[in-house]
Structure 1
Amino acid sequence: MKYLLEAFDRKTEFLAFAKEIPAGNDERLKSIMGWTSEQWGDEGYNLDASQLEAIVRLIGDEPHDPNYFYQLTCNADDL
């Protein structure tokens, strides 16, 4: 599974940028997101402040920009 942190402009709602979550973090993401079932690879989740903070720490990124809203997407690996 490939996971992306996506940032959308609050005014236009256009995708501003996306950052890939490093491989091997499935269990950490499951804990952060509170998932109780496996992901299929076509899901997208709006992030609350605590989820966003945990994911930003996980990827070692800068604090988030309040001009964006953030989602985590689950994407099936390319075959």
Structure 2
Amino acid sequence: MKFIVEAFDKENESLDFEVVLPNDCEAQLAKIMNWSSPQRGDEGYNLSSTQLSSIEALAGKCFCDDKHLFQLTCNVS
């Protein structure tokens, strides 16, 4: 499974950038997202500020700002 954080501009809703998460992060994401079942590969989730902070730590980089809306997508690799 491939997990990507997508950043959409709040004004025009265009996709400005993506952050690809590490390949081995599914267990950590399950805890952050409070998932009770495995992901299918076609899901998308709006992220709260708390979830974003945890995902930034998981990614090892800061990308959160007030100009974007952030979503996590789950894609079959």
TM-score tier (shorter): over 0.9
Distance 1:44 1:65, change over 3 A: same
Deviation at 1:62, TM superposition (A): 1.6
* Structure 1 equivalent of residue 45 of structure 2: 45
Query: Which is further off, 32-41 or 58-67?
Result: 58-67
Q: TM-score, normalised by structure 2?
A: 0.96
Identity among equivalent positions (%) equals 44
Structure 1 outlier segments of 4+, above 2 Å: none
Letter in 2 for 1:64: C
Partners in 1 of 2:68 and 2:54 — Cα distance?
17
* Superposition RMSD in Å: 0.8
* Structure 2 equivalent of residue 55 of structure 1: 55
Secondary structure of the 1:8 match is: strand
Partners in 2 of 1:76 and 1:38 — Cα distance?
12
* Structure 2 equivalent of residue 28 of structure 1: 28
Q: TM-score, normalised by structure 1?
A: 0.94
User: Structure 2: which 5+ residue stretches go unaligned?
Assistant: none
- Equivalences, count: 77
Matched, 1:12 2:12: yes
String of CA shifts for 1:6-51, please: whole Å, max 9, x gaps: 1000000111000100110110000000000110000000001100
Correspondence list, 1:62-77, <5 A: 62-77=62-77
